Structure 1
Amino acid sequence: MTSEMVSDSGRTKVLFIIYVISGVIGLIMTIAIVGAMLLNALGLVGNFKLDPWPLPITVVISIVAKYTARWSSRRDSLRLF
């Protein structure tokens, strides 16, 4: 095994871990947003206001997951596009 193969393997593992973590966080945030909206619509929570901050965070996390998957599928993982 050459050192280049080892570094590519390590980089792929790190990118895969980032991809999985960002995907899980995005899924949890989406479930939380939908759950909060459902509870509010059903009237189960009184005086409930949904803060607008979770949605942009979820969008950013999904973009990170998308580009991480794109980076890990390429040999040169330093290019953004």
Structure 2
Amino acid sequence: MSDTAPAPAEKLLPAADVAEALNLSLTAVYRLVRSGDLPSHRFGKGKVRPRGVRIPETAVEAYLNGSLIEPKEAAA
């Protein structure tokens, strides 16, 4: 028998929630998904937009961490 507990399921966020969290438009979030900059899962098809797109919370955090701008050190 294994003593390790199963990993908790990763939280998947709808595109609208990601847009609100990143202060972007819904179209911008779909563009990030389509370009591959924001990994996602699709659970259906919409006529205009893929309404079933869910984005892992860790992918949103990774996207934010990747866009972090480090301040330059001041020249002495």
Higher RCO, Cα 8 Å, sep 6+: 1
- Whose Rg is larger? 1
| TM-score between the two structures when normalised by the length of structure 2 | 0.29
Name the one with the larger helix percent.
1
Q: TM-score, normalised by structure 1?
A: 0.28
